[in-house]
A and B are shown apart, each in its own frame.
Chain A
Amino acid sequence: MAQITLVEAVNLALARAMADDERVVVLGQDVGRNGGVFRATLGLFDRFGGERVIDTPLAEALIAGMAIGMAAEGLKPVAEIQFSGFAYTVIDQILNHAGRLRHRTQGRLSCPMVLRTPCGAGIHPPEHHSESPEAMFAHIPGIRVVYPSSPRRAYGLLLAAIRDPDPVVFLEPTRLYRLFKEEVADSGEALPLDQCMTLREGTDVTLVTWGAMVFDTLQAADELAEQGVMAEVIDCVTLKPLDLDTILASVARTGRCVIVSEAPRTAGFANEIAAGLAEHGLLTLLAPVMRVTAPDIVVPYAKLEHHYLPGQRQIVAAVRKTLEFA
C-alpha cells in the first residue's frame, strides 16, 4: 500500500472509476494535458484519452451545464471547477437543473454527476481562491454535498460520489491536498455517503467539523487529551443529507459540543448542526453549544489570511469555555 496525499487519492479514485466504468468522463479547465492546476487529474489524459478527459473552454457554467446534459444521456461526468471562488456561477445550473431534473421529470431523467472543486483557505493563493461555499450548496434540494478530510476518505467518498445515481458536489480541502500522507489501498471500495464518521472517541466534549478544519480539530483533541480532556471528534463528511443522529448520540454521552468551521458565521453550516442540537438534544446538553468559525468578512488576501482561519488555539479555548460552564 502506498503512502499518498489527498490530491493523489483523488487522482487514484478518478483513475479507478474511469477504468471500472467507461461511461465516466472528466471535464474541466486544464484537466487534460496539464493534469489539472492541482494535478488532481494527472496522467488521466494519457491513459484514457482526450475524449474522456476533456479540456473545456474557459466557462464554468458550461462545465456544469454540460455535465447535466451528459448525465441525462447516460454518461457519468465528473466536472472540475478550478477554484471554489469560481463555483458561484454554476449554482444556477446545480440549483435549477442538476438538483431538479429527477424530480421535475418524476424520475424519467436523472443526473448522476459529480462537481468537484477545491475549497477553503490557507494556501496563500490569489483572491477568489479561498472560499467556503458549502452552506450555499447544502441549501440546494436534490443534491449531496460531500467534503472529505483525509486521503483515505477522499478515495472512498469520491468513488461513492461517482457511483451515486444523483448529483454530488464534492468539495476538496485545498489546504490538506498535500499536508499529510496516508496509506490508501486502491481497492475500489467506496465509503458510505450520508454518514458522519467518528474519528476519535471521547467522553468530555463532542467536536463536530468537516473539511480542512478536521485536521486542526484532531490536533486540538490531542492537546486537550494531554490536559486530561477526552474529546470526541466527528467528521460530518456528507453535509447534505446530514447524519444528525451520530452527532446527537455523541452529545448525549458528552453533554457538550463545539462546532468548528472555517466558513463565515452567519447562516453557516455550523448553525444547522447547532439548530439540530437545540431541537433534538437540548436536554442532553450540560453547556451551550459553541461555534468556532471565521468572522463574517471576505476571506482576506494572503497577508492576513492566517489571522482569518480559526485554528487549534481557538478550538481549545472554546472547549475550555464549554467545560467551565457550570
Chain B
Amino acid sequence: MTVAASFEIPYLQCLDAHGQPVGALPAWAQDTAALVPLYRWMQRMRAYDAKAIALQRTGQLGTYASLLGKEAVEAGIGAAMRPEDVFLCTYRENGAQLMRGVSMRELFLYWGGDERGNRFERPIHDFPICVTIASQCLHAAGVAYALKFKREPRVAVCTLGDGASSKGDFYEALNAAGAWQLPLVIVLTNNQWAISVPRNAQSATQTLAQKGIAGGVPGLQVDGNDVIAVRQAIGEAIETARAGSGPTLIEAMTYRLSDHTTADDASRYRPAEELAEAWQREPIARLRGYLVAQGAWDKAQEDALLKAVNEEVQAAAQAYLDTPPPPVSQMFDHHYATLPAALAAQREEWLAGADGTDHPR
C-alpha cells in the first residue's frame, strides 16, 4: 500500500505553564504594552464570573455556566476579532462577548432569565448565545456564506466545546466551510469535560483539531491557557479568512476549572487531584508571571486592577438588580415582525389574566 493522504496537526505554545517563553514571541507580543490589556481583560472576566456565581448562589441569577479557566481563549478571540466580524458563541464565551462590547449588565440580564440580555446594544449583528449544542456552527456557515456573497471583508467566528465536536452539525458546517472556502474560523475549546463525560470517552481521535482535515479545513491546536498563543493563532486564522483564503479550525487546549454550570457538581465525577493539577496551568497566573518577570506588572498595579474590576462588576450587578422585570407582554412580542391576528388575540387573553393570583409576581 502507498499513502493516500497524510496530515499533521501543528501545536502552538508561546509561554509555558510557568510563564517562560518557549521561543521567540510573535512580534506583536514582544512589547509588553500589548499584553497588559489582555491581562486586564482576563481579570475583568474572572471578576465577572465570580460575581455571576455569587449572584446565582444568593438566588439573584438563574443557572450560570462559568468560564473559569478559559479566560485566555476568550481574550484571544476578543482581541483578534474586528467589531464588524460576526461572533456566534455558546453560553461559555461571556468573556469574549464582553470584549466585543456586550455589557455585564446585559449578560446578567440574560442569565437572570430576561431575553433583553440578548438584545445587546452592540455588536448588533452578533448572534445570541447558543444553548443547543453545535447548532450555531451551521448558522456560522450561513453567515460566512452571506459575508462572502456580499463581498464584505468580514469573518464569522464560531465557538464550541469538545463535547459539541461529536455532533453532526459541527461536521456539516466544517464540510461546507471547506467546500466553499468560507470566511469562517471555528474555535473549539477543549476543556476536557462535557459535563461528566471526559475527552477520551468523547472520541478516539488523537486531536479534535484533525476533525477539520476531514472537511478540508486546516486544523491546529493551541495551548488554550496561553493567551499569546491563542491570540496569535486566532488572529492568523481570522486574517486568512478575511483575505479569502478559507476557514480554519482551532482546538484550544484548556481545562474547565469550574463545574459545568451552577446546577452541576463536578466532584461527583471528577478527581480532585486532576482539578488541582489543572490549576497549575491556569491562564491568568501564567501571563502575570511573565509580565512581572519583564518588569511590566507589579503588586500595586495588581491591587489597583482587582479593586477596579470588582467595583465594575459590583456596579454592573447593581444595575442589573435595579432593572425592572420585563413586562408580561415581552413573552409575546417579537415572535413575528407583526403579530398575526390569532396570536394577538392570545396576547390580549393572557395580558387580561396576567394580574391574577395563580402566579403572583
Contacts and interface: CB of A to CB of B under 8 A. Distances in A.
A242 B342 contact: yes
A62 B172 contact: yes
Contact of B145 (A61, A66, A92, A101): A66
B280 interface: no
Interface in A43-69: 51, 54, 56-57, 59, 61-62, 64-69
Given A61-B138, A69-B143, A102-B337, A241 B119 contact: no
Nearest to A69: B142
Contacts of B86: 73
Given A92-B132, A93-B138, A102-B336, A72 B169 contact: no
B334 A106 contact: yes
A194 interface: yes
Interface in B327-361: 330, 333-337, 340-343
B257 to A, nearest CB: 29
Interface stretch (A107-115, A125-133, A297-305): A107-115
B97 to A, nearest CB: 13
A73 B143 contact: yes
Interface size on B, as a range, is 35 or more
A166 interface: yes
A190 interface: no
A166 B337 contact: yes
B11 to A, nearest CB: 29
Interface string A168-201: 0000000000000000000000000010000000
Interface string B96-126: 0000000000000000000110111000110
Contacts of B334: 102-103, 105-107
Contacts of B168: 59, 61
A78 to B, nearest CB: 13
A106 B119 contact: yes
A70 B138 contact: no
A252 interface: no
Interface string B159-175: 00000000011001101
Contacts of B173: 62, 65
A54 B341 CA distance: 35
A107 B179 CA distance: 33
Contact of A96 (B118, B119, B132, B340): B132
Contacts of B335: 99, 102-103, 141-142
Nearest to A141: B335
B125 A73 contact: yes
A317 B127 CA distance: 53
B337 A110 contact: yes
A295 interface: no
Contact of B118 (A67, A69, A99, A104): A104
B356 to A, nearest CB: 21
Given A61-B138, A61-B169, A241-B343, A105 B128 contact: yes
Interface in A234-281: 241-244
A161 B349 CA distance: 28
Nearest to B173: A62
27 contacts: A57-B179, A59-B176, A62-B141, A64-B138, A65-B138, A65-B172, A65-B173, A70-B149, A73-B146, A96-B135, A97-B132, A99-B335, A102-B335, A103-B115, A105-B128, A106-B118, A106-B119, A106-B333, A107-B333, A110-B337, A142-B335, A142-B336, A165-B337, A166-B337, A241-B343, A242-B342, A243-B342
Given A66-B142, A70-B146, 7 more contacts: A69-B145, A69-B156, A71-B142, A93-B135, A102-B336, A105-B334, A243-B341
Interface of B: 86, 88, 115-116, 118-120, 124-125, 127-128, 132, 135, 137-147, 149-150, 156, 168-169, 172-173, 175-176, 179, 330, 333-337, 340-343
Interface of A: 25, 51, 54, 56-57, 59, 61-62, 64-75, 77, 92-93, 96-97, 99, 101-110, 141-142, 165-166, 194, 241-244
Which are the 3 A-B pairs with shortest beta-carbon distances? A69-B142, A65-B138, A66-B142
